[in-house]
Homo-oligomer: A and B are copies of this chain.
Amino acid sequence: MKDDSQNNTAVPSDPTDNLLGYHIRRVSVIMMAELVKALQPLELRPAEATVLIEIEANPGITQSDIGKILNIKRANMAPLVAGLIERGCVRSSRRDGRSLALRLTKEGRRITRDARDAVLELEERFFGQLSTEDREQMTRNLRNLWQEN
């Protein structure tokens, strides 16, 4: 009944319909655009917000370790962190002669709380329609996929 191999209606065929990768990409693009908008009032970009949240959860973490965790290159971490320091959100101290340990300032904690609220609100708005089971299963599967590849 659902066989449309001899489909002669005017409905255009959609060769991407069964490609999981295609749908991941489309969701990712829309979601990132929404995230940019959600963080705009805080004057934070997604990478900056994620770095702040990572520092908050791991005070004293090294700049290079954050880059490794979040897959941000050293060369791109430098100006990003410099901006956060200049804005008074982060302070850095020498861990040894090379590494910089990062911590949030009071202002940094405030803006990080707002950023996390914005992220969680977007998560709910975007994925709230999914059942808890579907959501947990997708989270588990996707986490495994990127951590293994």
Interface residues of A (CB under 8 A from B): 12-32, 34-35, 50, 53-54, 56-58, 61, 69, 71, 116, 119, 122-123, 126-127, 130, 134-135, 137-139, 141-143, 145-146, 149
Contacts and interface: CB of A to CB of B under 8 A. Distances in A.
Contacts of A18: 139
A112 to B, nearest CB: 10
11 contacts: A12-B57, A15-B57, A18-B139, A19-B123, A20-B138, A21-B35, A21-B127, A23-B146, A24-B142, A29-B71, A29-B146
Of A19, A27, A35, A134, most buried by chain B (CB within 10 Å of CB) is A27
Contacts of A30: 145-146, 149
